[in-house]
Amino acid sequence: MTSLLRSQLRSLRACRPLHCARHTSSTPPRDIPPLPPHDEWRATFNTTMGAVRDRISVANPDTADILAKAFLTGNSIAAGQGKTVIECYPGPGALSRGLLRLDDKTLERLIILEDWEPYLEYLRPLEQADPRVTVVPLSGFSWSTYAHIEEKGLLDHIKTVPYEQGMHPQLHFVSHIPQNISGEQFVAQLFRNIPTHSWLFKYGCVPMSFIMGEWIWERVAALRKTIPRCKVSVITEATADMQAAVRPSVLQPYAQHLHPRPTSQQLKKPESRRIGHPLAAINTVPYAEQVIAPHLLDAWDYCLRKLFVLKSTPLNKAISALGPGADSLLRVLTAKDLPPEQRVDVTQRVRDMSVSDWALLIRAFDNWPFAPENLVISDAFLEDRRDRSL
């Protein structure tokens, strides 16, 4: 684990020690269809195929129990009762089974999104074993999937809760994150939907729990003045509270807890992105009060992307990247008649800017009469929601 991740984890809320004991409750135990032993997974599931090559899954049932409780119970910032969980990228369902071992008061319903048939063979039996389960044979990566589950009435019982009332008491999104750039983009888009109350956030401050590569977590949670600080870091810091669900050691060594074990081809990938690299388990809850106004999201996107290309450059040198004449914004940001808390230190590097600094910059940019009219920067993953992706 890097020193950056250690410092970030220390700054997050401390996690209560978690053990491997099964969850006790008054709910009668159900016979949950078993999975093959972990050491048979490579033979059972051919994960060298393109569709699932970079996907990871919890395989150890004790680890699945630990994570299920760390996501939904105890000291988790996302803990609650009467939960409807939407689980994305479940793999064959070890974590799904861990969630189902929670009592009915904690987990009311489980909606599983999976479109790979070899995994579905081990997920569909859960519907027969537990009435709380609905398996939707569609990809959680696709925007249309969430429209589909609404059209099927699977969310009819979900209330819309105003943001100012805090965390949504019912709905909870859980996902393994693929170990590739698309996985990082998927996470980035989820946080990007928070200010606009899009996707599941139209119901309110819906908590999310992730199992992701440590390399993704370092970028998502990067603090100002650190090298990994990026556009995603700023958006996540501005939109949601984040907490490490378990200590990193709970998921190590990788081969004892997760699937698949790395192949020789995957070992050729950059160190941080290959299968087998350490993972992090994260809980996150959107803030009741959002810094990013919905109508300014495109401006935030534009300014962050343009300026983070020059993230090691002082703002007063980089600001011209926003367009011809953008240097004039420096006078607005440093005007002496402004209260000190509304001024920006324009000599600091782009990666050193706080969320407050960015908010002041975007406000000035939005009021600038010569700001570019077209703020859209090409990104296939962030295209209009009529497209297949979130």
Q: Give the DSSP letter string of 244-287.
A: ESS-GGGG-SHHHHEEPPPPTTGGGS-GGGSTTS-EEEEEEEE-
End-to-end distance of the chain based on CA atoms, in angstroms?
Answer: 31
Least Cα distance to 233 among 308, 295, 141 occurs for 308
- Triad 95, 96, 99: Cα angle to 5°: 85
Beta-bridge partner residues of 176: 211
Q: Is the dihedral of CA 127, 132, 136, 142 positive or negative?
A: negative
Binding positions = 114
Rounded alpha-carbon distances, angstroms, from residue 383 to 71, 91, 189, 199, 377: 31, 27, 10, 14, 10
Give burial (CB, 10 Å; 0-12/13-18/19+) of 164: exposed
Residue 339, SS3 per DSSP: coil
What is the torsion angle, in degrees rounded to the nearest 10, for the CA atoms of residue 173, residue 176, residue 178 and residue 182? 10
* Pairwise CA distance, residues 284 & 175, whole Å: 12
State both tokens at 340. Answer: 């000190």
Binding positions for S-adenosyl-L-methionine = 114
Residue 121, SS3 per DSSP: helix
Give burial (CB, 10 Å; 0-12/13-18/19+) of 351: buried
State both tokens at 298. Answer: 């495109």
DSSP 144: H
* Pairwise CA distance, residues 222 & 184, whole Å: 14
360 and 348 in contact (C-beta within 8 Å)? Answer: no
